[in-house]
Amino acid sequence: MKVKKKSKILEKFNLQKKQYYLIVGRLIPDNNSKLIIEGFLKSNSNKSIVVIGDVPYNDDYAKDVKKISSNRVVFTGYINNQGDLSNFYKNCYAYIHGHQYGGTNPTMINALDLNCQILALDTVFNREMLKNKNSVFFKKNSISIKINEFELNYDRLVKKNISYKLPKKYDWNFIANQYLEVFRGLTNYHNK
């Protein structure tokens, strides 16, 4: 029997449990990382913010984001180890989702599956994904205000979300089985 090694990823970046916000995603304008980080730094929070992700090409926006200098901002780059990535989610104070396009997003599903407290950009698809979870929504110009409100109401939100369960439609096995059904249907259609 193989024993899983305990992740040391938080120690690697000098992070404490529940003392950081988390952003996961590519460093592109549509994900609003720069806006979120700048808003976070204007808030009253004394926590850190961890940014997981990058872009695999030379990009001015990504460079600008990574130039934001503060001892409260931690850029990890890509985290390819799923155990380490899950460790970041499980131990964050809150996950901040700034994706403005794209519908159902895997990073949000991970945050939901691990029952993270969530602040999300106010979009139709983010509201749809979070309709059964008590979350905080922000507009592009209100992130610092919403972080302040979130921290004031944190205990109440945690209590309301304690029994949250990921809806079946976002379960990876359910999704994979639906894809298999579609592929089987296509195969049967072409074999007639």
Q: Do residues 146 and 138 lie in contact, with contact meaning Cβ atoms separated by under 8 Å?
A: yes
Q: Per-domain residue ranges for the chain?
A: 9-190
Which class would CATH give 9-190?
Answer: alpha beta
For residue 61, what are its two tokens?
Answer: 């926006």
- Angle, nearest 10°, between helix axes 143-152 and 33-42? 60
For residue 11, what are its two tokens?
Answer: 């120690």
Mean pLDDT of 157-170: 86
Three-state DSSP state, 62 = helix
Give the confidence band of 165 by pLDDT, cuts at 50, 70, 90: confident
The pLDDT, as a whole number, for residue 74 is 98
Distance CA 79, CA 127 (A): 27
Give the confidence band of 173 by pLDDT, cuts at 50, 70, 90: confident
Distance CA 132, CA 171 (A): 15
Q: pLDDT tens digits, residue range 43-67?
A: 999 999 999 999 999 999 999 999 9
pLDDT at 190 over 90: no
User: Quick one: 92 exposed, middle or buried, by C-beta within 10 A (0-12, 13-18, 19+)?
Assistant: buried
